[in-house]
Structures are given as structure tokens and as C-alpha cells.
Structure 1
Amino acid sequence: MLRLGIDIDGTVTAQDTFVPYLNESFQCAMTLDDMTEYDLTKLLKISQEEFWGWMDQHEPLIYKQAKPAEDAKEILDEMKQQHRLIYITARRQQHSDITYKWFQEHDVHYDAIELVGGHHKLEAVQKHKIDVFFEDHHGNATMIAKEADIPVILFNSPYNQMPIDDRIIRVNNWQEASQWIKQYEQRLQTAY
């Protein structure tokens, strides 16, 4: 049994979740392909203060209405049979109720959910003794792979195209992530 650490936004939820809300609020017509940086302030040409003001106002609705990524629920249902599913998210603590409710409404299994309130997930990864982490944020993936010395499955997106090290596995979807986990399990069994 592996202890799988899983990010929520852009990993379990669809990567384009924020796009319609950004387009409506900032009168633009961006697509996910336009989001070549994780820092949206540069793309929107707004300050951090403006961005976080917008987030304070819109985050609850966005999280509530987020759609699961394609095949995420089905693959996670398979994985829950053999592994512990521990979600570690940058969401702030004030969104705890919305987060748990989303998991219940979408019938997505969890063994634990930890809202760390920022992109510093390493402490939670170590606390939960995570074996493999699933992430869409390049910086988080790099830090976790390096500091925790574990494999990180990075869900490919326009905003995470920077170079990766050999502990990071780039995948395009949940099917590929599942296939990698199965191969990893086989390698672990063969090693023992």
C-alpha cells in the first residue's frame, strides 16, 4: 500500500476551472493555453493585492462549482482499493467546509485532506509520510521531489512547462498517472 499525496486544484479538478471566472471578471477571452505561468497577476496585469482581493471574493464559488478532471474520480476509486489517498492542497483553511462538501458531492474518496494555505506542502508531505505525490504546480513538484526525495507525478499544463528533474514524471491525464503507479508498484515488488 502506497501513501499517495494528491493536490486538488488543477489535479483532481479540471485545470481550466478558473478560466471562465477570470474571463468574466477581467473582461478577457483567455483559454487554458494562454496560461503559460502559474502567477496569474502577470497574465492579467494586476497586482498581488488585486488578485488576492479577487480570490477572496470568488474562491468559494469556484471551489464549489469545480468539475473533476477527466477520469479522476474513476482512477481514484480504483486507487482507494490499494492505497491511502491523502489530499494536500494550497487552499486556505477557511475553505475547509467547501472542500469537504465538494468531495462528498462528487463522491471522491479521501483518507485525509489537509489545507496548508499556501504552496509550501513539504511539511505536510513529510508529516503524512507520502510515497508519491500528484501535482500540477511545477515549483511544488520540484520542491517535493527534491526535499522529500519521492517521485512526483506532474500533470502536464501550459503553466508548468519548465524543465523537470528525474524524480518528476510528466503525465497528460489520470489514465497515464494510473499506469505509472501500477508500473511503480511492480518495480517495488520486484525490488523486495
Structure 2
Amino acid sequence: MKPETTLRIGIDIDGTVTEPSSIVPMMNESFGKHLRYEDCFAYDLAKVYNITEEAFQDWLSKHGERLYNEAPVHGTADSVLRGWYPHHRLIYISAREARHRDVTLNWFSRYHIPFHEVDLIGSHDKLAAAKKWQVDLFLEDRLENALQLSEELQIPILLFDTPYNQGSLPALIHRVHSWEQVEELVRTFAMNRPPLAEKSL
């Protein structure tokens, strides 16, 4: 059997490594709602909660650190990532702001989640960062990111299934329902990629 080769794996954090529903109870608490995770039909929670974008950004500014500190791990993400660490480059690219680096790294440490790079870019536009780190594939929950990255970089995207990213997908975007499924797909990709040394670094 052909051995696996090292991949540079781009990984979103929120809704990918963290449980995607974790923001809902906090939003309900703050805005007096009783919405369920299944009611989150759009990634833009300002639309879901019928508030202004400014109100949502203000909320995130005030509560972001608590959200990032309290979010549970998404499924078996921690154990899968620990299994990948000796074999692949784990590059986390997140829309979180740089000021949340400490709470992010503390959370990683608490759950023993390994990393090679953590790039908090403060924007949903991850294209430049993905190019910078030359990722071979990307793990994401936001449909708009998945579409942009797959089209511009022509790399596989593993899109975690959520209520807010439904719709038909192009061939390079694979809808996934668990970290176990992701682990199997990454193993397949690794078996079919040229060794890292054969690529320009």
C-alpha cells in the first residue's frame, strides 16, 4: 500500500474544531430569544436574530473571549487532530481577531489540541492566508469560504454540515458530517498526493 504523505491542512476553528451550536445559548441569553441551533439558517447571525450587524459585532466584541473560552470541542476533533500532528502540518486560519490569541491558545492547551501554526486574521477572507501557508486542503463550516477557497486554489474543501451552509456544492467541496468522516477522507487525500518534498515550499 502506498504510504501517506504529509499534507498542509488548513483548519478553521469556530464551528469546525469547536461545536458549531455553542454560540446559540449565549446569543439567546443576551437577546432574550429561544432559538435552536437548527433555526440558524444563515451564517450571519444578525439575520437569524433579527438584529443589526453593528449590534452583533458589538456583542461579539464584548462576549467573544467568553465564547472562545467556553466552547466545547466538536465531536472527536481533538483526538483526530492529535493523530494527525506527527504526520501533517496543522495550520489553523481563523476569522478571530489577533487579540484573542491567548484565549485561543489556552483553549487548545486545555483540550490538548496540537498545532503548527495559528493565524488569527480578523476577517472571513481566508484566501491570502491559505495561499501564504500553501495549504493542500481546508476544513471549514462557512459556505462562502468553502466556495472561494475551492475555486481560487483548486483544492479539496471539507465542509462540516450545518443548518447555515445548505445547498448544492461543486466537485471540490465535500460535505462531511463527523470528524471520523474527515479523518477517512484526509487519509485518502494523503495517499494520493505527491510527497511534500516534491512541492515548492
Greater shift, 128-137 or 98-107, is seen at: 98-107
Match of 2:3 in 1: none
Match of 1:53 in 2: 58
- 1:103 pairs, out of 102, 108, 112, with 108
CA-CA distance at 1:162 after TM superposition: 2.4
CA distances 1:43-79 after superposition (whole Å, capped 9, x unpaired)? 1111111111111111010001111101000111111
Match of 1:85 in 2: 90
Alignment of 1:141-156 (within 5 A): 141-156=146-161
CA-CA distance at 1:101 after TM superposition: 1.1
Matched, 1:3 2:8: yes
> Once superposed, what is the RMSD of the aligned Cα atoms?
1.2
TM-score (norm 2): 0.92
- 1:114 pairs, out of 115, 119, 136, with 119
CA distances 1:4-50 after superposition (whole Å, capped 9, x unpaired)? 00000000000111011011111111111100100111111111111
Matched, 1:170 2:181: no
Letter in 1 for 2:176: V
1:67 aligns to what SS in structure 2? coil
2:22 aligns to what SS in structure 1? coil
Taking every aligned residue pair, what percent have the same amino acid on both sides?
A: 37
Q: Distance in 1 between matches of 2:75 and 2:47?
A: 28
Alignment gaps of 5+ in structure 2: 1-5
CA distances 1:85-131 after superposition (whole Å, capped 9, x unpaired)? 00000001111111111111111000000001010101000000100
CA-CA distance at 1:83 after TM superposition: 0.3
CA-CA distance at 1:159 after TM superposition: 0.4
2:174 aligns to what SS in structure 1? strand
Q: Distance in 2 between matches of 1:146 and 1:116?
A: 20
Q: Distance in 1 between matches of 2:139 and 2:121?
A: 16
**Larger RCO, structure (CA 8 Å, separation 6 or more):** 2
Match of 1:30 in 2: 35
Matched, 1:139 2:128: no
Q: Any runs of at least 4 consecutive aligned residues in structure 1 with deviations exceeding 3 A, and if so which?
A: none
TM-score (norm 1): 0.96
Q: Distance in 2 between matches of 1:148 and 1:187?
A: 18
Match of 1:40 in 2: 45
Letter in 1 for 2:43: Y
- 2:20 pairs, out of 15, 22, 45, with 15
Matched, 1:65 2:85: no
CA-CA distance at 1:183 after TM superposition: 1.4
CA-CA distance at 1:150 after TM superposition: 0.6
CA distances 1:140-167 after superposition (whole Å, capped 9, x unpaired)? 0110011111100000000000221111
Q: Distance in 2 between matches of 1:188 and 1:7?
A: 22
CA-CA distance at 1:170 after TM superposition: 0.6
Number of aligned residue pairs: give it: 190
